[in-house]
């Protein structure tokens, strides 16, 4: 069966596609409107169909490029986790699948943690790589979310999670299930430090990923048309044996049902994020009359521990905004690809 699917069928398909009257590498067809798309124009348009606005997938690197200021960021190195602790094997060994994905992506697992600025405000992004085993969340990915939260707290940055995942990585059994509480603990750390936590839901966000850190954001944004849900469509259909409603589990559907704040076209993401971060972190007044001493860009107070001191936490968050211009200049002098904190003074 696998041999048939994996070998024979692609072969047949490639024979068929060769008969197309346009070469593959120049044009492609939009899956939604079937309009022809010139590849170069498509990529200039951030992989959004310029006929109908359908958002196609983009790589995680492209994603970071379009979000961070000057398309620049530092990648945070992630700790190694136990590889294949269950010694899982189906038709293929999990260890082999993992190795293949690692070789292909040149990363240890399906998540990138990066830090930079968005409209001058420091932000740590934890972005899923859907190409890495369907963005599934095992111990490595969960560790990435935890690390991203720690980095955000350490550097007084906002945290932006960008899931793109089919759910838990079942080859890691219940260990992958435990990433649900683990990633929520990560979010709790960020919230207690008074730092903003946003989620940008992308296609798809389902299963154990949607039912953990992805649904506890201060603000939930989603890309147009992306699929968001807990249970898979097929499972639901098998359970209820009825037709599913139109647009079921799309971003727009979730907005209608109160689970997502807004659907934002890819082009507007950076500006929208920047505006919201600014609204939260640069309120234009000093609520407690204590933040002025930090105006010159002095080191911020360390964030509140245990979440009880809301005042300190809020001030810590505001300090981000005040530090932002300075941070941007510091960053430019630094060479890329370092994982040292952008601003050492902010480190605990």
Partner 1 sequence: MSKLDFEKPILELEAKIAELRNVGSDSSLNISDEIRRMQAKADRLLQQTYGKLTPVQKVQVARHQDRPHFLDYVRGMIEDFTPLAGDRRFAEDKALLGGLGRFKGRSVVIMGQEKGSDTESRIRHNFGMARPEGYRKAQRLLEMASQYQLPVITLVDTAGAYPGVGAEERGQAEAIAKSIEACLRTKAPILSVVIGEGGSGGAIAIATADRVFMLEHSIYSVISPEGCASILWRSADHADDAATALKLTAEDMLGLKLIDGIIQEPIGGAHRAKEQTIENVAKQLDSSLNSLIPWNDNDLKQSRRDKFLAMGRNL
Contact residues toward partner 1 (CB under 8 A) are: 1-2, 81-82, 85-86, 88-91, 139, 142-143, 146, 168, 170-178, 180-182, 184-185, 187-188, 207-208, 210-216, 228-232, 235-236, 239-240, 242, 244-245, 248-249, 257-259, 306
CB of 40 to partner 1, least distance (A): 37
Neighbours of 242 (CB within 10 A): 8
Nearer to partner 1, 258 or 289 (CB): 258
CB of 238 to partner 1, least distance (A): 8
Nearer to partner 1, 97 or 266 (CB): 97
CB of 43 to partner 1, least distance (A): 32
Residue 92, CA distances (Å) to 2, 83, 89, 104, 150 in order? 11, 15, 6, 17, 35
Those residues whose C-beta lies under 8 Å from the C-beta of residue 308, and which sit 6 or more positions away, are: none
206 SS3 class:
coil
Assess contact for 190 and 217: CB atoms under 8 A.
no
Q: DSSP states of 207-238 as a string?
A: HHHHTTGGG--SEEEE-TT-BB-SS-HHHHHH
Nearer to partner 1, 235 or 287 (CB): 235
Assess contact for 251 and 232: CB atoms under 8 A.
no
Nearer to partner 1, 5 or 19 (CB): 5
Nearer to partner 1, 206 or 294 (CB): 206
CB of 313 to partner 1, least distance (A): 15
270 SS3 class:
helix
Which stretches of the chain are assigned E, i.e. beta strand?
A: 27-29, 36-38, 74-75, 111-118, 121-128, 158-162, 197-201, 219-222, 262-263
Cis peptide before 105 (omega within 30 of 0): no
Nearer to partner 1, 62 or 150 (CB): 150
Write b or e for each residue in 138-154: b if 16 or more Cβ atoms lie within 10 A of its Cβ, otherwise e: bbbbbbbbbbbbbbbbb
Q: How far apart are CA 65 and CA 118, in angstroms?
A: 11
Nearer to partner 1, 19 or 239 (CB): 239
- Report residue 251 CA to chain centroid gap: 15
Nearer to partner 1, 201 or 320 (CB): 201
Nearer to partner 1, 214 or 324 (CB): 214
**What count of Cα atoms within 13 Å lies in the side-chain half-sphere of residue 50?**
13
């Amino acid at each position: 069966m696998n041999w048939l699917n994996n070998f024979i069928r692609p072969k047949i398909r490639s024979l068929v596609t060769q008969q197309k009257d346009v070469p593959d590498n120049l044009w492609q067809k939009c899956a939604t409107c079937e309009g022809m798309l010139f590849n170069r124009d498509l990529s200039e348009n951030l992989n959004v169909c310029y006929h109908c606005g359908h958002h196609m997938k983009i790589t995680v690197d492209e994603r970071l490029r379009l979000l961070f200021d000057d398309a620049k960021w530092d990648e945070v190195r992630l700790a190694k986790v136990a590889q294949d602790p269950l010694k899982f094997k189906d038709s293929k060994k999990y260890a082999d699948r993992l190795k293949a994905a690692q070789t292909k992506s040149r990363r240890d697992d399906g998540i990138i943690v990066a830090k930079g600025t968005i409209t001058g405000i420091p932000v740590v992004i934890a972005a899923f790589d859907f190409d890495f085993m369907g963005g599934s969340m095992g111990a490595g990915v969960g560790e990435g979310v935890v690390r991203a939260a720690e980095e955000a707290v350490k550097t007084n940055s906002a945290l932006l999670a960008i899931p793109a995942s089919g759910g838990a990585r079942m080859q890691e059994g219940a260990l992958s299930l435990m990433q649900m509480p683990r990633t929520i603990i990560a979010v709790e750390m960020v919230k207690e430090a008074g730092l903003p936590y946003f989620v940008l839901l992308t296609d798809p966000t389902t299963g154990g990923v949607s039912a953990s850190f992805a649904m506890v954001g201060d603000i939930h944004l989603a890309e147009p048309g992306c699929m968001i849900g807990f249970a898979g469509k097929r499972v639901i259909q098998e359970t209820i044996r009825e037709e599913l409603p139109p647009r079921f589990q799309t971003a727009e559907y979730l907005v209608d049902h109160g689970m997502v704040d807004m659907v934002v076209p890819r082009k507007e993401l950076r500006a929208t994020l920047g505006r919201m971060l600014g609204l939260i972190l640069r309120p234009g007044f000093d609520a407690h009359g204590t933040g002025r001493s930090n105006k010159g860009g002095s080191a911020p107070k360390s964030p509140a521990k245990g979440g009880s001191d809301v005042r300190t936490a809020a001030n810590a968050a505001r300090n981000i905004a005040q530090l932002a211009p300075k941070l941007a200049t510091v960053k430019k002098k630094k060479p890329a690809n370092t994982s040292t904190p952008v601003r050492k003074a902010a480190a605990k």
